[in-house]
Structure 1
Amino acid sequence: MVKIRLKKMGRKKLPVYKIVVAEAMSKRDGRAVDILGTYNPKSKELQLDVEKTKEWLAKGAEPTPRVASLIKKAMQ
């Protein structure tokens, strides 16, 4: 099973996240199957490839609750 989730990047006390597709059992910052976009919580900047995201959702990838809200925000 694959999940769409956040992968932590950046530096200490200044995180930046990549929105990735990863195996459900892999580590949070482990290997990703595909990169869908980025999210910066400090500036609320969100970049998401909506077409790729729709493809992965159609294939059965399940987003985490936080990523689901970001996807909803990006598709408005």
Structure 2
Amino acid sequence: MSLSIRLSRGGAKKRPYYRIVVANSRSPRDGRFIEKIGTYNPLLGKDDANRVVLDTERAKHWLSVGAQPTDRVARFLDAAGVKERAARSNPKKAEPGEKAKERAEERAAKLAAAQEAANAPAEEAVEA
């Protein structure tokens, strides 16, 4: 059985509240879980102590057994000092897509043509 440490959503519409749970990776997001090891309330301020409540001993146990945390839970575990999260780097993230590059090239070509057209009459006037 592959285990996952993930968030299980609760709360009302537009008022999310999450439980940090250990569950079978094949079970539904809000479905059956093995153990609740903490809570996460995104509505609280980032400096609030109750925003993320985590049982670090149980988290260490489940990680030693082979449970894999999701990205968000890995951030919480890193902040709690339980598991070091590897820094992620995506150098292509800020790079524009193909269509945007094509539009930029077309814009640059039009601008260059307009500048050449503007400079051409001035050069003819200087020669005359």
Is the helix fraction higher in 1 or 2?
Answer: 2
Distance 1:33 1:17 in 2: 15
Larger RCO: 1 or 2 (CA < 8 Å, sep 6+) = 1
Is the strand fraction higher in 1 or 2?
Answer: 1
Give the residue type in structure 1 aligned to 2:69: P
2:12 aligned with 1:6: no
**What displacement does 1:19 show?**
0.1
Show the counterpart of 1:58.
64
Distance 1:74 1:18 in 2: 16
Show the counterpart of 1:27.
28
CA distances 1:9-62 after superposition (whole Å, capped 9, x unpaired): 111101010000000110000001010000001114110000000000000000
Select which of 57, 62, 73 maps to 1:67. Answer: 73
User: Aligned with 2:29: secondary structure?
Assistant: coil
Task: Name the larger-Rg structure.
Answer: 2
Show structure 1 runs of 4+ deviating over 4 A: none
Give me the identity figure in percent. 49
Q: How many residues are treated as equivalent by the alignment?
A: 76
Gapped regions of structure 2 (runs ≥ 5): 83-128
State the superposition RMSD in angstroms: 1.1
- TM (norm. structure 2) is 0.57
Gapped regions of structure 1 (runs ≥ 5): none
- TM (norm. structure 1) is 0.95
